[in-house]
Amino acid sequence: MLFLGLVERARPAIPEQTGIFRNLGIGGFGFAAQVIGSAWLAPITSFTVNQAHGGLFLLPAGGAGLILGIAIYVVAMDMGEYLFHRAQHAIPFLWAMHSLHHSDESFGTTTTVRHFWLESWIKSLTVWLAIGMLFKASPVIVVSYGLLATYNFVSHANLRLDFGPAWWLLNSPAYHRLHHSPAPELPIFDLLSGAHFRPPAGLFPDTGLATGATPRSAFQALAWPLLRGN
């Protein structure tokens, strides 16, 4: 995040970045919940299921098969994350929490940590639980996915970076910015479901909620579902 923050300052897509410290404050308050939920509860959920002889399919844990195992796990987790994300936009009580992430009018890499503290727990007991029941994965595979997931900091960066003809394959900062605009769209799995939108070159819209609702302090973010607008 620090590295991308320096790159953003050097080559910003949008010069005005006023919400950085607020995002860090929100991330700071939610840090314990994020660590417990994402870095402990989530992997432990899958590990516990596997130790209880859960997991319908055993993924290769070594040799050349390890690459295949990681690839299968990453695709499965990406699909799980995608379905959970769609639910966050469709189910009112999930959107009440997720709208905190979308309320950032100053989209940038610190937006990555701008989440309501309870979301990581819910994801751990849904997405991670489901994947644990589906696949028996070695710690190397789970850790590899965790490292790859840090790409989220890149996709939220305030940079004029897209991937040209491969826009549909990997979520670029330019594309994900569209998702944070009042007319959000998503990448590859949306292409499969027909909900995608091919962005024209050079489009960098404003971000935030259509209502303009946003927490005025990190403290308000702690109770965001109760204090937010519509």
Beta bridge partners of 136: 58
| pLDDT tens track for 59-108 | 998 888 999 999 999 999 999 999 999 999 999 999 999 999 999 888 88
Distance CA(74)–CA(141), nearest Å, equals 9
| pLDDT tens track for 150-196 | 999 999 998 888 888 888 888 899 889 888 987 656 667 777 777 77
pLDDT given for residue 39 in this prediction: 53
The pLDDT of residue 34 is above 60: no
- What are the structure tokens assigned to 3, written together? 């590295």
Distance CA(171)–CA(168), nearest Å, equals 7
